[in-house]
Homo-oligomer: A and B are copies of this chain.
Amino acid sequence: MAGALAAKRVVPLRARRDEDKEARRRELLDAARALFEATSFAQVKMADVAARTGLAKGTVFLYFPTKEALFLALLDDLLTAWFAKLNERLAQGGTWTGHQLARAVAVSLEGEETFTRLLALMQTVLEQNVTVAQTQAFKERVLGAMGTTAALLQERLPFLTPETAGQVIRHVHALMTGLRQMADIAPVAREVLTLPHMAPLRVDFTAELTAAITTLLRGLEAR
């Protein structure tokens, strides 16, 4: 059975080389992600994350000093990936309509619930129990990606100024997190929202986000 276990393992029992450590780190992030997707931040236990990778609880804390740090690292990855995806789309030349841009953003977020859910948790939860260094590294990365996006935004939508481009990004960020929270709901709330007269409180994330960004951009253009 020791053999069977070893066969399952991608990473050696003891990760001593840097690349093995990195691989183990990834395993832990993947486990955390899978558990988070199935439940919620509060419900994910560090012991479960460990168990899912076949490690002991204490080991997780060798890679991440706190639960919040683990999830902030996960968010960091997802955010980088998302910005890359979005910026790639935005690099497709030519002038766009506001609606096209809104669609592009909404589509880029399709299947990225995990990302937006974590984003919504960031300021209220994830930045609570984390070192200054990690927070700064994270924000540094956001800043870089945002700069690229702002530049591309101005290329696609010529009516944007450097100032309004930045504003658009902040407002889209706010809408993403706000709408995600309204759309993606605790089981208790889901049950309640099933009632017919609760319809006005139900939110379709993609549709609503597209509509909001489109309207926002039309407003900027009309100025």
Cα A173 to Cα B131 in complex, Å, equals 31
Q: How far is the CB of A137 from chain B (nearest CB, A)?
A: 10
Nearest B residue (CB) for A175: B174
Q: How far is the CB of A79 from chain B (nearest CB, A)?
A: 13
- In the assembled complex, the Cα of A125 lies from the Cα of B117 at a distance in Å of 12
**CB-CB < 8 A to A175: which residues of B?**
171, 174-175, 178
Chain B residues in 8 Å Cβ range of A152: none
Contacts A174-B212, A218-B219 given: A146-B200 contact, CB under 8 Å?
A: yes
In the bound complex, residues from chain B placing their C-beta under 8 Å from that of A179 are 170, 174, 178
Question: Smallest CB–CB gap between A166 and chain B, Å?
Answer: 6
**Complex interface residues of chain A between 169 and 221 (CB less than 8 A to chain B):** 170-171, 173-179, 181-182, 184-186, 188-189, 191-193, 195, 197-198, 200-201, 203, 208, 211-212, 214-220
Whether A132 pairs with B191 at a CB distance below 8 angstroms is: yes
B198 touches A128 (CB 8 A): no
> In the docked arrangement, what's the CA distance between A136 and B131, Å?
39
Are A219 and B215 neighbours in the complex by a CB distance under 8 Å?
yes
- Please judge, given known A-B contacts A136-B192, A142-B201, A178-B174, whether A184 and B123 are in contact too, CB under 8 Å: yes
